[in-house]
Amino acid sequence: DAGVIQSPRHEVTEMGQEVTLRCKPISGHNSLFWYRQTMMRGLELLIYFNNNVPIDDSGMPEDRFSAKMPNASFSTLKIQPSEPRDSAVYFCASSLLAGNQPQHFGDGTRLSIL
């Protein structure tokens, strides 16, 4: 079975540029999560979707961050404009149902903003 697929695996870009991270959840999963992981702040939930609808985006740092899920098999996380402090590993995860089901994580996108 294909797991959660994220792209790109690595992204290096200059500050001010737009960054788009992509995620394909496991087929049949109806909850999708975006996390950010840094040494300083650990694993932070940014936003999650149930059935393609954003449920809680309270973890989104600021207006520069936006996330969409246009259909059940695709989600994007955009940062515009990017800043060096956005450098982190961004994980996408999916599960059958938010809350009491295991979450399956993708390999992550390692983002470096210069």
Partner 1 sequence: GQQVMQIPQYQHVQEGEDFTTYCNSSTTLSNIQWYKQRPGGHPVFLIQLVKSGEVKKQKRLTFQFGEAKKNSSLHITATQTTDVGTYFCAGINNAGNMLTFGGGTRLMVKP
Stretch of 8-16, 22-30, 37-45, 68-76 lying at the interface with partner 1 (CB under 8 A)? 37-45
In the bound state with partner 1, the residue whose beta carbon lies nearer, of 33 and 65, is: 33
Binding flag, residue 57, partner 1 (CB under 8 A): no
Q: Which residues have C-beta within 8 Å of that of residue 78, sequence separation ≥ 6? A: 18, 19, 20, 21, 65, 66, 67, 68
Kindly write down the DSSP assignment for every residue of 59-111, as one continuous string. T--STTEEEEEEETTEEEEEESS--GGG-EEEEEEEESSTTTS--EE---EEE
CA distance 99 to 101: 6
Q: Which of 12, 15, 43, 114 binds partner 1 (CB under 8 A)?
A: 43
Stretch of 19-27, 62-70, 75-83, 101-109 lying at the interface with partner 1 (CB under 8 A)? 101-109
Binding flag, residue 46, partner 1 (CB under 8 A): no
CA distance 78 to 25: 17
Instruction: Locate 80 and state its tokens.
Output: 């515009």
In the bound state with partner 1, the residue whose beta carbon lies nearer, of 14 and 40, is: 40
Q: Which of 34, 49, 65, 91 binds partner 1 (CB under 8 A)?
A: 91
Binding flag, residue 108, partner 1 (CB under 8 A): yes
Binding flag, residue 25, partner 1 (CB under 8 A): no
